[in-house]
Chain A
Amino acid sequence: MSWLNKIKFSVIIMSCSILSSCCIGYDDYHKLLTAEQAAWIPDPSLKSFIMENEYGIKESFVLDSFEDTIITMNNDKCNCQVVFQRRSAAYISTFTTEHHFEQSLNTLNFTDLDIGINWKQQASWDFDKNEQIPHSYTSNNYPNPTSISIVSDTTINKQSYPKVMILKFAPADVEETGVIEADFIPLQGIVYYKLKNGVSFYRNPMP
């Protein structure tokens, strides 16, 4: 290779390198869910489950959608690479489309868990700060919980769980048949919920 070709080749390589790198002051973003975080979305092998209340009334929920995607994209201006993960599962009642549970995680910006209940109640948890945040859909005025807590070694309906996420809503915020408490466990989703009218539903069988 002549010295002129060497220079040409170097210029091309340098140009490519400059074009493919981020702007000064910006970085590539690469954030995926940890296994522990991902477990807050039910495992897709859970195709359906049954909730039963103290009066023997049963209601089953079936998997309506599941997603686990790693998304790679380039920032238009700076050419920084952005890689994030989205994982979600939604279950709908076989009795009425008014009843559903939906859990969704994504790592874009921060690790955000969104939970939807019966299309009318919602909750969000920031795993980076380990704190409750307002749900991203603020325009619909649906109630957020008054508290979200992740508790260890808890017993629900005689069954012990190492970790449970407990959502509590103010009764005044929800409809008469709305949910005032919802308990979720890793990989299995909801295991207990209590309605404003006092009726409690447990998973049958408890996972």
Chain B
Amino acid sequence: MSNQISFFLLLAITASFYGCCKPELRHQFELSAIQKEAIPYTDNQKISFITNSGYNFDLDVTLSTDFIIPMDFERGCFYDEFEKILATITSENPKLTISISSTALPEWESDISIYDLELQVNDKWFYPDCQIGNYSAIDFADTTIYNRHFKNAMVFELCYDYTNKGDTSAIYFEKIVYSKENGIELITFTNNDYYELVK
């Protein structure tokens, strides 16, 4: 009986020490050169797009790099930090807020995805070729789409849209062509409208 009490006492003391420890940084994962190159924007850069109807509009770029702690990587007394590069591109007319980011990958994930690019327009998420979860096949390649040739590009698609209930008379985002050299090159819509980067 006294052995059992001692065991539980020891367990409680161990648990209290474990719960009260000050978390320490275990690993800091930095972006690879390839990841940094995949986001070709600079801070305070201005870019221009032209619509299919000939209207030019400017977008402002802000670029930030920071270390983040994903929720899954804060456990007990240790935590891991991941470097993240984020370009935020905004315009007033049309009202666009575009986010492109790449987050450093731990070694055990580097074979799965080398870019870990995330692309969001307003509140819509775009994925390369809608291959969610199959990132190993994703890479930049020379691409011809909509009668245009893009060097080292990826095609991101809006794979799921809550507002799309099959009404063909409504207009939805469709695809985004993103290149290593210029970033977003083309944004297309389901009614064949588009916004194209002015180079």
A residues near B, CB below 8 A? 47-48, 50, 53, 55-62, 64, 92-99, 176-177, 197, 199
Contact = CB atoms under 8 A, between A and B. Distances in A.
A102 to B, nearest CB: 15
Interface string B154-178: 0000000111110101111100000
In order of increasing CB-CB distance, the 10 nearest A-B pairs are: A56-B53, A96-B122, A48-B170, A60-B170, A60-B171, A55-B55, A94-B163, A57-B94, A48-B167, A94-B172
Contacts of B54: 56
Interface of B: 51, 53-55, 57, 92-95, 122-123, 161-165, 167, 169-173, 191, 193
Contacts of A50: 169-171
Given A94-B163, A197-B92, A48 B53 contact: no
A199 B94 CA distance: 10
Contacts, number: 70
Main secondary structure of the interface of B (DSSP, over half): loop
B123 A96 contact: yes
B48 to A, nearest CB: 14
A95 B55 contact: no
A25 B96 CA distance: 59
B190 to A, nearest CB: 9
B150 to A, nearest CB: 24
B93 A199 contact: yes
Main secondary structure of the interface of A (DSSP, over half): loop
B122 A95 contact: yes
Given A56-B53, A57-B55, A94-B161, A62 B93 contact: no
B160 to A, nearest CB: 13
Nearest to B94: A57
Contacts of B94: 57, 59, 95
Nearest to A97: B123
Contact of B171 (A55, A92, A94, A199): A94
Nearest to B172: A94
B167 A95 contact: no
Contacts of B51: 55-57
Contacts of A58: 171, 191, 193
Nearest to B162: A97
Contact of B170 (A57, A94, A96): A94
Given A50-B169, A95-B122, 4 more contacts: A47-B167, A94-B161, A97-B122, A177-B92
Contacts of A60: 169-172
Contacts of B170: 47-48, 50, 60-62, 94
B119 to A, nearest CB: 15
